Amino acid sequence: MFRIKICGITNVQDALTAASAGADAIGLNFYAKSQRFVKPDVAKKIAAAVPKGMTRVGVFVNATADEIATLVARVPLDFVQLHGDEPAALLAQLPKDALLIRAVRCGYEGLAPLARFISECRMHGRLPDAVLIDANASSDYGGTGQIADWQQIMRQREILDGVPLILAGGLTPTNVGDAIGLVHPDAVDVASGVESAPGKKDPHKLREFVAAARDAFLRYS
C-alpha cells in the first residue's frame, strides 16, 4: 500500500518530479470532464516513465467494467480508483490483478453511506482494498481544494472495519501534517494543493508536501 499519492498527473515531467520528491504513487485521471483528464496514450507514456515500484492509480468516474479493464491492461495500472457513483456490484466485475480504491465524499451523513457500501460489497464478494475520503463538493468529483471534515472522519473511523483509509480533500504542504496527526490515515492524496494551475504541478509545493507528509507519518506512526 502506498502512503503519498500525487493525483491528477498529466505529463511525464510532473510524474518524474513526484517520484524524485519521494511520493510513491501517482493518479491518472480518465474522467473526460476533469481539468486533469489524461488521454490513454499519454497515460501509457507517463506510466512507462516512472521508476519501478511507483504505484500507478487510474481514476474513473462512472465508467463501465469493460472500459476500466481495457485501460488497466493498456496503461497498465496497479490500482483502480472509483470516484463516481459506481454500485458495489461493479467491484466484483473488475480485473482481479488491479487493487481497488473506493472514493467517497464526507457529507452531512458522515461515513454512514460508506458503511452501507462496504456491507453491499461483502454481499457481492469483493471489498475495496482501500477507501479514499474526500471533501463534500456537491456534484464535483474531487480536485476542488475543499477540506474534508477531519474531526468527523476521526470520530467515525471504526466504520471502515479495517479497510485502509486514504485521506484527501484540500490537503496542502502546510496542513497535511496536522491532518495526519489528527486522522491517522494510511495514506494521503493531493491534487490541487500542489498545483500552479489545474493539471500542472508546482515542483516546490510538491516537494514541500511530500516532505511534510513523510515527516508526519514518521512522527505519528
Q: How many CA atoms lie within 13 A of 150 on its CB side?
A: 19
Predicted pLDDT of residue 105? 87
If phi > 0 it is left, if psi is from -120 to 50 it is alpha, else beta; for residue 143 that is left
Q: Which residues are catalytic?
A: 7, 134
CATH number of 4-220: 3.20.20.70
Predicted pLDDT of residue 143? 52
List CB contacts of 191: < 8 A, sequence separation 6 or more: 6, 7, 8, 27, 36, 142, 143, 168
Low-confidence ranges of the chain (pLDDT < 70): 137-145
Q: What's the CA gap between 219 and 97, in Å, rounded?
A: 33
Chain segment 57-68, per-residue pLDDT in tens: 999 999 999 999
Q: Kindly list the domain boundaries of the chain, sorted by start residue.
A: 4-220
Q: What's the CA gap between 153 and 87, in Å, rounded?
A: 22
- Name residue, grid cell 518524474: 16
Question: Would you tell me how many other CB atoms lie within 10 Å of the CB of residue 84?
Answer: 14
Predicted pLDDT of residue 147? 87
Predicted pLDDT of residue 141? 52
Is residue 2 within 8 Å of 187, Cβ to Cβ? yes
pTM over 0.85: yes
Predicted pLDDT of residue 123? 96
Predicted pLDDT of residue 140? 52
**Adjacent-strand bridge partners of 37:** 29
